[in-house]
């Protein structure tokens, strides 16, 4: 009778094939999760950059409408950074009042270099689109029209 008891205990152990199958399933699920998280993180970065640009444009327009320092206000887009400035254009701005914000180096931003909003009316001296590209095929756009309206999230 002791032989049957030993045999039952022996049958309860996992085989090598069962262990390998479980490890393969866990590896597949972990790999799929990692890819999904990476894509979600990339989308988050893209959306976050769009939100930053829209926020800066709205801030510049708000300062122009409120006639802060009796000057137009604008946003200058440059590789690696965005700058809020005061003045009729980037080259003749009041440089001491620049406010610099770092850009996400992993993303590419294209469009007109400067958006300037006029005092009191908030209308833009130049209209255009800002395109934010993640390098993997996803692009988000921010539009500024001649009236100074900013279309984004």
Q: What is the pLDDT of residues 107-139, one digit of tens each?
A: 999 999 899 999 999 999 989 999 999 888 899
Domain range for residue 35?
2-151
Work out how many domains the chain is built from and give that number. Answer: 1
- pTM comes to 0.76
Q: What is the pLDDT of residues 63-94, one digit of tens each?
A: 999 999 999 999 999 989 999 999 999 999 98
Q: How confident is the model at residue 95 (pLDDT cuts 50, 70, 90)?
A: confident
> Given a cut of 80, is residue 7 above it in pLDDT?
no
CATH number of the domain residue 146 falls in: 3.55.40.10
DSSP for 28-62 reads HHHHHHHHHHHHHHHHHHHHHHHHHHHHHHHHHHH
């Amino acid at each position: 009778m002791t032989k049957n008891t030993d045999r039952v205990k022996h049958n309860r152990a996992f085989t090598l094939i069962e262990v390998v199958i479980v490890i393969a399933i866990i590896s597949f699920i972990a790999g799929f999760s990692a890819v999904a998280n990476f894509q979600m993180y990339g989308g988050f970065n893209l959306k976050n950059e769009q939100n930053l640009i829209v926020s800066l444009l709205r801030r510049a327009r708000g300062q122009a409408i409120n006639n802060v320092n009796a000057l137009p206000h604008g946003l200058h887009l440059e590789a690696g950074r965005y700058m809020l400035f005061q003045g009729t254009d980037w080259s003749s701005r009041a440089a001491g009042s620049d406010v610099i914000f770092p850009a996400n180096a992993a993303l590419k931003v294209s469009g007109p270099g400067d958006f300037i909003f006029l005092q009191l009316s908030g209308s833009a001296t130049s209209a255009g689109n800002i395109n934010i590209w993640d390098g993997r095929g996803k692009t988000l756009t921010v539009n500024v029209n001649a009236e100074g309206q900013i279309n984004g999230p």
